[in-house]
Amino acid sequence: MKVFASLVVASYGQYNTDTTYPTDVTSPEETTRRLQDPPIWCWTCNAKNAGECRREGKFEQCMDNEQVCEIEIRKRDGRMESVSTGCKWRRACLDNTLQNFINDPYKHQHQCKPAKWHLRDGKGPSVCRQCCNDDKLCGLEWIERNKGKGPFNKPIWRKNYIVDDPDIDPPACTIPSTEPKVTITTLTGTEDNADSNAEKLFRFVRPGCEFDWIVMDRDGIDDFEKNATDVFEYDMAAIHPNPHCLQGIKKIEIKDESDQGWKAEWVDVFINNVAECETADLEFDGGFWVDLNETTRYLTAGETVNYYETA
């Protein structure tokens, strides 16, 4: 059995801990300019509750295709399950808010059930979403309402809180494809025993979202041969039903289901997140070994990963 050195890696693209941000925009001229010429700023977190969101969140300068801050509050049986807020493509955020009360007027089928009786009686899951852009802290302040339980009234969740100019059309999404998918490309090494006949599994790692293991295997094809490049494609919904969870991915976890192990020269992950109007290309450079009997490999985008054989 191979023994490999451990590795500590730092997150690529970690948000700067400096929370300096632009001064408040108050004049109509500046408000119009900001809508025409992003970026805006949003408090960003994926947390279990409002307190954790405030403690561990941070300010994020949004990308050009993100014009609002999205808020999501999830509860189950009356208890807070998770909260999140951060930059969002305006159209995608508004589309998500439409899911709050789908199947009107059948209230028992609503996804968003914010009322106090729901907290008291514990009636299954509740997912409520909202958009704002009037202040860089609007998402956090929304989550912190009612001592961290969020707004209780449905009319508040139905209202449009986006500060907008009717003469300005929101930018269209210009990502190259309309097909939401995840593509994983791997290059196997040339060393002895680098190749593998066993299937590999991966899953993304992101605070506030849970991912299932996904198999990397193609029917009828002998994957992971020496010096071979293999491409695996997945519908994004098969990775996670919530597109927001595919935003901001920096880390993946990989394991091999054999005693032999597998030597990868590199792994590349491309995420075409149509719902978020965002693409992400994650490069995990090596080489590195993956082995079921070793500690599961956490790989961080942008870092060169070096697992050296020591015995």
Query: Which domains, from first to last, does the chain contain?
Result: 38-158 (2.10.60.10), 181-300 (2.60.60.20)
Global confidence as pTM: 0.54
Share of the chain above pLDDT 70, in %: 73
Are 131 and 161 in contact by the 8 Å Cβ rule? The answer is yes
Contacts of residue 305, defined as CB under 8 A and 6 or more positions apart, other chains included, come to 7, 9, 284, 285, 286, 287, 288, 297, 299
Q: Tell me: the pLDDT tens digits for 85-143?
A: 999 998 899 889 988 888 666 677 788 888 766 555 556 889 999 999 988 999 999 99
Evaluate whether 293 touches 259 at the Cβ level (below 8 Å).
Answer: yes
In angstroms, how far apart are the furthest CA atoms of the chain? 68
Sheet (strand 214-216) strand order = 214-216, 200-205, 251-256, 297-300
User: What contacts 56, CB < 8 A, 6 or more positions away?
Assistant: 45, 47
Whether the Cβ atoms of residue 193 and residue 143 lie closer than 8 Å to each other:
no
| pLDDT tens figures, 229-253 | 999 999 998 999 888 888 878 888 8
Q: Which of 72, 69, 59, 71 is nearest to 89 (CA)?
A: 69
